Amino acid sequence: MNDTNILEHITRLVDEEQKLRANPGASEESRHTLRQVEEQLDQCWDLLRQRRARREFGQDPDSAAVRDVRTVEGYEG
């Protein structure tokens, strides 16, 4: 997956997230789906950051890998 594919996937996920958030009285299933979309977005942004960092430091961006949700969600800023 290249940067363009990742950004396209992020765009689709953001669209889905916005649709889910537009329904404040959402079902439990919708809230669960929203959480999954948020996690996938975090993973995609993390992957894109990894790829950009590898490229910046002369490494192969294709060696970046999607990290598990626990790792990505556990970051503290």
Looking at the chain, list the stretches that DSSP marks H as alpha helix, in order from N- to C-terminal side. 3-21, 28-56, 69-73
The residue count of the chain comes to 77
Q: Evaluate if residue 77 carries a pLDDT over 70.
A: no
Instruction: Say which residue, 1 or 64, is predicted with more confidence.
Output: 64
The pTM of this model reads 0.89
Q: Can you list the positions of beta strands (E) in the chain?
A: none
* Average pLDDT estimate for 40-60: 97
Q: What is the pLDDT of residue 76?
A: 67
Instruction: Say which residue, 73 or 76, is predicted with more confidence.
Output: 73
Closest to 16 in 3D by CA, of 33, 1, 39: 33
